[in-house]
Amino acid sequence: MKRVLSFLTDLIPNNNKPWFDANKGRYKEAQAIFNDFASELLERVQNFDPEVRGLTLKQCTYRFYRDLRFSKDKTPYKKHFGIFIAKDGKCSGHSGYYFHIEPPHAGYLGGHLMCCGAYAPEPKVMRSIREEFMLNGEALVQAMSKAKGFELEWDGALKNIPRGFPQDSPYADYFRLKKILITRYFDDSFLFEADLAKRAADLFATCTEFNTILNRAIDYAYEEY
């Protein structure tokens, strides 16, 4: 992974087509290294989570070339690599397992991380998740506590409890969430140690119960409408 991170680090101040074309070999090498890791991670996650079995690598990874049509940022290439292993694929809206490599100062997510959850859920999905907290909060909180080294993100939460949810609930604070993500940041040393896919999969395995409960709420939202 050192060559992957080296390529991304050098790309940050040189995010333009001439530099990229001159370093196309480094990109292809970095992409191949990451894809090998991602393939192994996908296989390991499929071993413990039946909801993601049958997915292909293409259904879980992203293009490196940015879509510039609706963006003010016209730099043509991403500055990170990521894989999102989720029920029905990366665009399904389900909770899953996201692994992200990003150099310092890239300015996207703030560094290397692993996370699970629903980042930008539709209103009907967020309502269903809040209802899950209302009816099954203890199980959700316990599932989050089992996720080793992962922390719930509170940034962007509402100031007040949304209408229709009880303010005296022991899980009232969770109703304020506008997304539900548990995240674990890690440094270069974690990235460079041997058996990265195994170590990442072992950590993701502690999040399976959380994903299962969350996806039940997400499925209910899509079935209801």
CB atoms under 10 Å from CB of 32, counted, come to 12
Q: Spell out the alpha helix ranges (H) of the chain.
A: 2-11, 17-22, 24-48, 123-146, 172-175, 188-192, 196-205, 208-224
Q: What is the crossing angle of helices 24-48 and 196-205, to 10°?
A: 40
- Looking at residue 113, its pLDDT comes to 98
- Looking at residue 131, its pLDDT comes to 96
| Domain ranges, residue 75 | 2-224
Q: Low-confidence residues of the chain, pLDDT below 70?
A: 224-225
Q: Are 37 and 196 in contact (CB under 8 A)?
A: yes
List pLDDT tens digits, range 156-194: 999 999 999 999 999 999 999 999 999 999 999 999 999
Q: Are 211 and 116 in contact (CB under 8 A)?
A: yes
- Looking at residue 98, its pLDDT comes to 98
Q: Which amino acid is at 58?
A: K
Nearest to 65 by CA among 115, 133, 4, 11: 11
Token pair 């259904």 is at which residue?
A: 59
Q: Which amino acid is at 96?
A: G
Q: What's the number of domains the chain is made of?
A: 1
Question: What pTM was estimated for this model as a whole?
Answer: 0.95
